[in-house]
Amino acid sequence: MAAPPGAGALALVVNGQERRLEPGATVADLVAAWCPSPEGIAVACNREVVPKSQWATTALAPCDVVEIVSAAAGG
């Protein structure tokens, strides 16, 4: 959920881009806003992998650096 610009927005970096979310946003909120489907997605917050089972309970904080990656098949 994107927050309107201005007061109260949570500013963080996602895949190298500044992003603003509503205060209290979780990793699950970010993934839902960023990806059409959470299948095959992995998330690291401040270089620490966040297990999918913890996305809904992992709150994001100002200045967090988040990487969202998707698995790619290939050989």
List the CATH number of the domain containing 15. Answer: 3.10.20.30
What letters, b where the CB count within 10 A reaches 16 and e where it falls short, cover 23-36?
eebbbbbbbeeeee
Total domain count for the chain?
A: 1
For the stretch 9-61, pLDDT in tens is 899 999 999 999 999 999 999 999 988 888 999 999 999 999 999 999 999 99
Q: Residue 3: is its pLDDT beyond 60?
A: no
Q: What predicted TM-score, i.e. pTM, was given to this entire model? A: 0.83
Q: In a 3-state reduction of DSSP, which class is residue 32?
A: helix
User: Would 28 be classed as within a structural domain?
Assistant: yes
CB 21 within 8 A of CB 29: yes
Structure confidence at residue 5 as a pLDDT band (50, 70, 90): low
Name beta bridge partners: 36.
none
> What are the beta bridge partners of residue 19?
12
d(CA 75, CA 55): 30
Residue 59 belongs to domain spanning: 10-70
